[in-house]
Amino acid sequence: MEQKTVNAIRAFNRFYTNMLGLLDRHLLDSPFSLPEARVLYELHHREGLLAGDIVSTLKMDKSYLSRMLDQFNRKKLITRSRSATDARAALIFLTAKGKKEAEALGRASNRQIAGILAGLPEKQTDQLVYHMQEIQKILGAPVAGQ
């Protein structure tokens, strides 16, 4: 692979992470980091996950996730219940408080994206979405709505 290709991709990654503030300690003026927000997102959209499901989906270090889940448990954001099929495994659910936090993050994220797109003409917004979906297809990620 040509170095200029690698450099171009890395430059875009830096641009986009800066634009979205993904390197801030607290994402979207919340008390959560990006990894914590992603775990909350997964738990909100896929109830009753095993820790292994999250590790697999997010390609996250098992120990890091374990510490995060312990912290979520102390903050009463999650609850765990034993799996009916495997007594060694615990299914993880958001509590009402956890759901409230996940929904607040979702709303803040929606506002952020709407703000970014607010100044763009509809044609450019459509082009942007199209190209983002193309990137997902090329890299082998599922594309929402397709």
**6: pLDDT confidence band, cut at 50, 70 and 90?**
very high
Helix 34-45, helix 51-58: angle, nearest 10: 120
Is 107 exposed, middle or buried (CB count within 10 Å of its CB: 0-12, 13-18, 19+)?
Answer: exposed
| pLDDT tens, residue by residue, 94-108 | 999 999 999 999 999
**74: pLDDT confidence band, cut at 50, 70 and 90?**
very high
Mean pLDDT of 40-58: 95
**146: pLDDT confidence band, cut at 50, 70 and 90?**
low
pLDDT: which is higher, 118 or 1: 118
Whole-number mean pLDDT of the chain? 93
Query: 3-139: which CATH topology?
Result: Arc Repressor Mutant, subunit A (1.10.10)
Eight-class DSSP state of 91: E
113 pLDDT exceeds 80?
Answer: yes
Q: Please, what sign has the CA dihedral across residues 92, 75, 38, 6?
A: negative
How is 33-51 classified by DSSP, letter by letter? -HHHHHHHHHHHHS-SEEH
Mean pLDDT of 32-51: 95
Question: What whole-number distance in Å separates Cα of residue 92 and Cα of residue 39?
Answer: 11
pTM: 0.87
